[in-house]
Every structure is written in C-alpha cells, then in structure tokens.
Amino acid sequence: MTSTIEARPLIDTFGRRISYLRISVTDRCDFRCQYCMAEDMQFLPKKEVLSLDELDTIASAFVARGVAKLRLTGGEPLVRRGIIELVERLSRHLKSGALGELTLTTNGSQLREHAAALARHGMKRINVSVDTLDSAKFTEITRRGRLEQVLDGISAAQEAGLKVKINAVALRGFNDLEIPFMLRWAHERNMDLTLIETMPLGEVDVDRTDQYLPLSEMRERLQKDFTLVADDYRSGGPARYYRVAETGGRLGFITPLTHNFCESCNRVRLTATGELYLCLGQNDKVNLRDALRSGGAAALDEMLDVAMRIKPKGHDFIIDRAHSGPAVARFMSTTGG
C-alpha cells in the first residue's frame, strides 16, 4: 500500500526534519503507574485500535518519507496481541537499510517471554521503565507491578543481547533520595540511566505539584557525589547525557519543563487509534487511520503533508500551584510518552 508514496523528507514549517516516530500499539497496560494513568482506566474498544496491517502500513509510510527511527510504545507494547509479528514485519526495513533503528519502551513485565524474539528480529536496544528498586514502593507506584518480575525481564533482555537503558521518572518525596543508588545499580550492570521530569498529562489521582522535581535540582544534588562530564552522545530522542566519572556509565536527563527541547524536535507520535499527535504537550493532530481507510496510501501521504503544516513550535508545560491540572486531557499512555 505504500507504493504510491513519494520518497521525500518530512519537514515542518519551522524547518525541523521529522526522523523519529513513536507508535503506541495499545493503550492497555498491566500496570497503573500513578503519574501515567488513573486507577480506574477506561481502555479503548479493540475495534477502534489499528490492526497489525494498518500499523505496518502507516509505519512503512513514515519510513518511505525518511523516518529513520521507530519506537514501539503503549500502554505496554508487549501486551498487544501479535506484537512480535509486527516487529518481524517492520524488521524488513532494517534489512533493507531504509530504517536505522527499531526499538521499544516497556515496563519489563513481559520481557522474559519476548526478549529473545525482539533480538532475533533486529532490535539492538530497549528502554525499561523502573522508578524504584524498593519492592514495596514499586508496587505502590505501579499499583500492581512486581519488581522481581521486571528485574528478571531485564536479565532476560541482556541474556538475549539487547542493550538496556533504564528510564526513571524523578518524583520528589518518592524516589529522589534513591536515585544515586539506582545510578550505581544501573551502571554496574552496563545500563545507562535516564531521569525524566513528570509531565502534566491526564487527570491522575496524585498531586503533581507535590511530586514535581526539577532535574536541574536533581543534577545539583548528584554533583555532590558524582563528577558529571557532558557527553555528546545522542540516542535520537530528547535526552541530554553526561558521563559519570566514578562509574563510567551514562546519565541522561529529559527536561520538558525546566529546559524544553522543542527547537530541535524531530518526533511525532501515533496513537493506537491512528491519531498522529504533532506535540506531546499540545492537541494538534491528524487522523491517519481515517485517511488510510478512506483513501489508501495516497490519502495517507497527503495527510502527512498536512501534519507537517500544523506541527506546533512547542509545548506549554507548567507545573506549579496555579497550574496543577493537566496541560492536556489525554493520558501519557495514550501517546506512549
């Protein structure tokens, strides 16, 4: 279906070239992380979710238009029925050289079952979200996850030859004192650690104002015990990295609030229902599912051009006492972060 798509770059009105597509293959998840979801989530009817064929067609259209990196997200992508089949299909673009990287962000709960297959179909590295190494706190923050299962999944991924990066949302009063320990733990196991500021997405059951921890503050704290040397390594996303002299590992910071990265944004996000969001913190979007179903590849290609014309300059994330509600109503799990 992508044969009618003319190979040409995706460039928005600010001159930014889009080279990175994040694909939410499902809004469902086996966890209910407090900063990401409400306790009583209402998930999408399965009939509204893109089929594997549609996911493949849309992703392939982006590859034809110059996207070099695909990241599968959720919800939890590994609970999507047929996820390994989708990975296998998309891996043909790795083999052809059209795609530079196919990767995935996961909570780690299903890695023991799927890690070997991910590696077999061309994945080289994955991100695993772990906010604490305390079993009780882990269950508290995820509402139903088991840390031991996730750690076993990480071991399975490394056994399969996957490079693992740990993502942790920095939360004041919850895991901020634990982060130095997490840094050492990750680096001892040859894993990078990336810290992320909590973002005002969706109406969740906690007070983000109390939880919000600027990573500029976290970095100052860490510099009392560690020597952080700026590193020009880039993973294709928004993280900015430092090399930690004492451990030899890398530490990343994703700072959408204290120092946004909008001027260099190279990303768009596809929801499980085919809506393409042009900014994580805005509501600008186009519906690729409807375009594909009504007009095939030509309509899909045209809608990608429309998307580039409406992609906003940046987001307006604020968290303080005057702005304690969500910046946008949709949950983080809808667009996969």
The string of pLDDT tens digits covering residues 9-22 is 999 999 999 999 99
- pLDDT bin (cut points 50, 70, 90) of residue 325 is very low
Q: Going along 25-176, which residue ranges are E strands?
A: 69-73, 101-106, 125-129, 163-170
Mean pLDDT confidence for 91-116: 98
Mean pLDDT confidence for 224-253: 94
Mean pLDDT confidence for 151-155: 98
Average pLDDT taken over every residue of the chain: 89
Range of the domain at 237: 2-335
As a whole-number percent, the residues of the chain with pLDDT over 70 amount to 87
- pLDDT bin (cut points 50, 70, 90) of residue 208 is low
How far apart CA 18 and CA 292 sit, in angstroms, is: 20
Does residue 201 carry a pLDDT above 80? no
At 327 the pLDDT is 45
The neighbour count for residue 246, using CB atoms within 10 Å, is 12
Half-sphere exposure for 304 (CA within 13 Å, toward CB): 31
Half-sphere exposure for 320 (CA within 13 Å, toward CB): 5
- pLDDT bin (cut points 50, 70, 90) of residue 207 is low
- pLDDT bin (cut points 50, 70, 90) of residue 330 is very low
- pLDDT bin (cut points 50, 70, 90) of residue 32 is confident
At 127 the pLDDT is 98
The least confident of 208-212, 249-253, 273-277 is: 208-212
Residue 229 belongs to domain with CATH number: 3.20.20.70
As a whole-number percent, the residues of the chain with pLDDT over 90 amount to 72
Does residue 205 carry a pLDDT above 80? no
- pLDDT bin (cut points 50, 70, 90) of residue 252 is very high
At 323 the pLDDT is 42
Q: Among the ranges 197-201, 211-215, 316-320, which has the highest mean pLDDT value?
A: 211-215
How far apart CA 282 and CA 225 sit, in angstroms, is: 38
Q: Which residue has the higher pLDDT, 96 or 257?
A: 96
Does residue 181 carry a pLDDT above 90? yes
pLDDT tens digits along 67-95: 999 999 999 999 999 999 999 999 999 99
pLDDT tens digits along 253-303: 998 765 556 777 899 999 999 999 998 778 889 999 999 999 999 999 999
How far apart CA 138 and CA 36 sit, in angstroms, is: 14
Does residue 193 carry a pLDDT above 80? yes
pTM of this prediction?
A: 0.88
> Residues 182, 205, 199, 21: is their CA dihedral positive or negative?
positive
Specify whether the CB–CB gap between 143 and 187 falls below 8 A.
Answer: no
Q: How many domains does the chain have?
A: 1
